[in-house]
Chain A
Amino acid sequence: MSRKQPIRVVAACGLGTGTALYLKMTVEEILKKAGIPAVVETADATLAPAMNADIIVTGPDLAEMFRQRGRAREIVAVTNYGNRAEIREKLLAAIQRLEGSTP
């Protein structure tokens, strides 16, 4: 998988503090191991939909809201934040869809 621009990921939670930081750390580790260049930022529920991101990673409740009004091309909904395999699988699938749709 090669791309010129790093993928822009937003890790979002209700407040943009605890859970989002936790997700950011996890997502950065996963993408680093996968050798995928990425810029990962955190955001709260209000800010996240307005941000210029390729992917938003968040929980199932906010994911539904972001799908309806977000600008991100892919929304990844994580059910179990302790399950790194779940996060990795969903994130890499979203990146593949992005790669497929890139003009």
Chain B
Amino acid sequence: MSFLEALDERIRILERVGSWAEAVRISGELLAADGLVTPLYVERMIRTCEELGPYIAIAPGIAIPHARPEDGARAFGLSIVVVKEGVSFGSHNDPVYVLIAFATPDRSAHIEFLRQLAEILARSEEIAHALARLETGEQARAFLRTLLQEEDSASRSGEDPS
């Protein structure tokens, strides 16, 4: 399943949030509203970050909140929350502008998703700032569609040889 298929309509653009936990909760509630995860999963997304530190902020400007499959993931899917003013996770990669939350009911690799995530993370600052300038979910989806298609054709035409 590709990134955009997994994302569906679950994009929320916010001006600001009170805390990283609020942003994570909103990203989890987008998944829960579509039945992809249980309410427990959303709680565990937050608790994981409290217990294990801000490691989910994995690249400048981008965090990937998630919990374990057994915490209540029912189906594979993503949600995106954009915080236009940015939010601090207490990480090297602060401020975070984009949260890409995901749920997966098994531990299989979802290679297509991970490959496209890698493309986004490789240009994380540029993409986070670009998304933070948009106003609507439709704009964000159109931006991602263009971005991932461009990346697709770029990676077909020539890979970094090193």
Query: Does B54 lie within 8 Å of A61, measured CB to CB?
Result: yes
- B60 close to chain A: CB less than 8 A: yes
Closest-CB distance, B120 to chain A (whole angstroms): 7
Which residues of B pack against A, CB within 8 Å? 48, 51-56, 58-60, 62, 64, 66-69, 92-93, 102, 104, 107, 109-111, 114-115, 117-118, 120-124, 160, 162
Chain A residue total in the interface (Cβ 8 A): 26
Map CB proximity to B onto A1-37 as digits: 1 under 8 Å, 0 otherwise.
0000000000001111111011001100000010000
Closest-CB distance, A43 to chain B (whole angstroms): 11
Main secondary structure of the interface of B (DSSP, over half): loop
- A95 close to chain B: CB less than 8 A: no
Which residues of A pack against B, CB within 8 Å? 13-19, 21-22, 25-26, 33, 42, 45, 58-62, 79-84, 88
From B52, B68, B111, B124, contact of A61 by CB (8 A) = B52
Query: Does A80 lie within 8 Å of B124, measured CB to CB?
Result: yes
| Neighbouring B residues of A15 by C-beta, 8 Å | 48, 52, 66-68
Q: With contacts A15-B67, A61-B53 known, is A81 near B109, CB below 8 A?
A: no
From A14, A17, A42, contact of B52 by CB (8 A) = A14
| Neighbouring A residues of B67 by C-beta, 8 Å | 15
From B110, B121, B160, B162, contact of A81 by CB (8 A) = B121
Query: Does B53 lie within 8 Å of A62, measured CB to CB?
Result: yes
| Neighbouring A residues of B121 by C-beta, 8 Å | 80-82
What are 10 A-B contacts with C-beta separation under 8 Å? A13-B55, A14-B53, A14-B55, A15-B48, A16-B107, A25-B109, A79-B93, A82-B122, A83-B59, A84-B122
Closest-CB distance, B114 to chain A (whole angstroms): 5
Report how far A79 CA is from B59 CA in the complex, Å.
7
Closest-CB distance, A41 to chain B (whole angstroms): 12
Which of chain B's residues has its CB closest to A30's CB?
B162
Report how far A60 CA is from B67 CA in the complex, Å.
19
Q: With contacts A25-B114, A59-B58, A81-B58 known, is A18 near B64, CB below 8 A?
A: yes
Q: With contacts A15-B66, A15-B68, A79-B92 known, is A22 near B118, CB below 8 A?
A: yes
| Neighbouring B residues of A26 by C-beta, 8 Å | 118
Query: Does A17 lie within 8 Å of B66, measured CB to CB?
Result: yes
Query: Does B59 lie within 8 Å of A80, measured CB to CB?
Result: yes
| Neighbouring B residues of A16 by C-beta, 8 Å | 68, 107
Which of chain B's residues has its CB closest to A81's CB?
B58
| Neighbouring A residues of B162 by C-beta, 8 Å | 33, 88
